[in-house]
Chain A
Amino acid sequence: MAERRPKIIGFCCERHGMDSAVLAARTGKQFDASVRLVQVPCAGRVDGIHILQALEDGADAVFVLGCLEKNCYYDTGSIEARKRVEYVRQMLAEMGIEKERVEMFNAASTNAWAFPEIVAKMVEVAKKLGPIEEGERR
């Protein structure tokens, strides 16, 4: 059988987050197909339960991508999102799941290399850690 491909979910705000992904694509960057983007209006819409449910549903890693904190379209959305991601990471650690599986990123819409780097980083994490062991999953 071929090498198992990781599954990664990226919750992505429709402002700078999505714009940075689109710009990367339009400037010809190629990145791993494992990332599945779920668009939300603002990174601050993402709730811990979305992240946990994604892991439960088979994601090896999950990231949230929002605007730069000082340039967030909804002002405090990406700051709020970071707090929630941090909270989920702590919960995971307590449950014995590697917290590296969940990460918060910020990107500017004008930055074409940010998104491919994020993808590369998460793919690396997912490949290193592999799927979450059955016993680990709630």
Chain B
Amino acid sequence: MKAKIQVVLCKCCTEIPSVLRLESLSKLASESNNVMSVMTVDAICDGKQLAPVMNDVKQKELDRAVVLACHKKDVSPTLLRAYRRAGVNEFMVELVNIREEVVLPHANEPERAQAKAEAKLRAALARSLMLQPLERQTEEMKTRNVVIIGAGVAGQAAAKEAAKAGAHTVVLEKSGKTLKVPGVVMQHSTLVGAEGYGGNLKLKIRAGEKVESLDAAALVIATGGGWTQLKGSLAKAVKDAVPLYKLNEQVQVDAPIKGPVVVVDSPDPSGKTMAVQDFAWDETLETVVELKKKHPETEIWVVFQEMRAFGLSELVYKEAADAGIKFIRYDKGGVPKADPKNPGVLSVRDFSQGEQLNIRFGTLAFASIPANPDNRLIAEVLRIPMAADGGIRRGSIQRWPVSTPRPGVFVCGSALFPKSREAAEAEGEAAGAMASAFVKRGTIEFGGVVAEVEQEKCSACLTCVRTCPYEAPFIGAAGKAEIRIQACQGCGMCVGICPSKAIELRNYTDDQIMIETRTLLGGDF
């Protein structure tokens, strides 16, 4: 069947015609192959103007469209739905961002802008002819369970919030502690296995002696930090030391703080069990400066192996030093120590002066806190990435701050990195709300722009299996790679890396990308 294209030129009210001559774009379009109709509208984002466009589609039985308007994300959902209703597959609608890519940034050079817009139109038409109609599919979630790992501050907040929103919650708690949270609490339980994808996850849970299976629609990781499992010589010697976030909290709420105050970079200064965390330095500076402002009489010591004074933190460092805060650098030869029999004194060799100091303190805080050792197992089971300091790594901020890179798997509280109770609680609530919103959809949508393996070409080298961040490719029964489309996010990373060129990303094939590139290069501007 011959392709029948509709071209829509949006004026974006008056913005686009102020730079471009729409008549010549319209002429170019109408003279191009397969273009059956060209329409100019004032603002395609205005729902009222959709009707004539869609009537035109229906009347002429068009099967694809090229729309020159603004940034995709602003125009697409309603527009694509309208096209769908008019009988045009939404994957056959090519949106060209003429406003932000041409009109706004080249407003001072209308001639070049015009030529560029024409090239973009030609490229879109070329691409349009190569597009395939695609379908999104849905799968029912078999359960509405939100499983929460960990019943600390963040975990409890997540459970309460998710339950409030109507989800069925199951909390896995490692210890035998009894909890007042909604839903089911499984004591003495840990996650030991997981299969599937967000929406339909099959979990294996060790509860006491038994291993049980549990279906879950979404998962919240709230394992907490590793403060309760603090190791290291200094931590053992000074039992009443506090984490830095605790000290910070006390400063914020004006709680009494017993001076002198010492902040040491790590509970294990010899570095055997953990490394100093990235944020330790900045957060220490911030806390001690504030403390000094509120309590100028308090003597403050900052004991660090490395002082990373760069960028803005250099200014704060200077401010702190001017305010009389004492900075002591140590090296491996003279790490800070405390005698358990005399725990109120920290002895350390000042690296720059070479002298041995004995600092009497009322409060000792550690700037770095180990991550929860359970994170490693959980990350392995769920195949999600970890941060260098042992926390769970969150996904891109565009997927929201409490999301992991895997859809349906959320993370909150100190499982990410150590934080105060308030912050952990707030994150727990956010994760609980997100998880319940996720399960409330009741179905998972997938398909559309996804990867596809041409099995004859596949040599089962496993490269795609290792590359995909979402575990979508697997080697199927035929000994060839297959894509689990429910898990495929359509990034296309596996395509270029396949040594046998056996994978294609629908509607982003090599040919489609290269035709677009070539057409754009054909323009002279």
Contact = CB atoms under 8 A, between A and B. Distances in A.
Contacts, number: 136
A107 to B, nearest CB: 13
A36 B121 CA distance: 12
A92 B518 CA distance: 20
Interface in B99-133: 99-102, 104-109, 112-113, 116, 119
B71 A74 contact: no
B521 A50 contact: no
B510 A72 contact: no
Given A16-B398, A73-B398, A75-B405, A40 B520 contact: no
Given A25-B101, A30-B105, A41-B508, A109 B517 contact: no
Interface stretch (A53-61, A97-105, A121-129): A53-61
Contact of A77 (B71, B109, B493): B493
Contacts of A135: none
B385 interface: yes
B469 interface: yes
A42 interface: yes
A31 B525 CA distance: 13
B397 interface: yes
Interface in A74-101: 74-77, 80, 84
B492 interface: yes
A75 B495 CA distance: 16
B520 A9 contact: yes
B490 interface: yes
B495 A47 contact: yes
Contacts of B495: 45, 47
B449 interface: yes
B469 to A, nearest CB: 4
A29 interface: yes
B514 interface: yes
Interface in A1-49: 5, 7, 9, 11, 14-16, 18, 21-22, 24-26, 28-31, 33-34, 36-38, 40-42, 44-49
A29 B105 contact: yes
Interface string B387-404: 000000001111100000
Nearest to B127: A38
Contacts of A25: 99-101, 104-105
Contacts of A72: 396
Given A72-B396, A73-B395, 5 more contacts: A9-B521, A25-B101, A26-B100, A36-B517, A49-B510
Interface of A: 5, 7, 9, 11, 14-16, 18, 21-22, 24-26, 28-31, 33-34, 36-38, 40-42, 44-50, 53-54, 57-59, 67, 71-77, 80, 84, 109
For the complex of A and B, list the 8 residue pairs with the smallest distance between their C-beta atoms, beginning with the closest. Answer: A45-B492, A47-B496, A44-B493, A42-B491, A36-B520, A74-B491, A25-B100, A75-B469
5 contacts: A5-B524, A33-B525, A41-B491, A57-B514, A73-B396
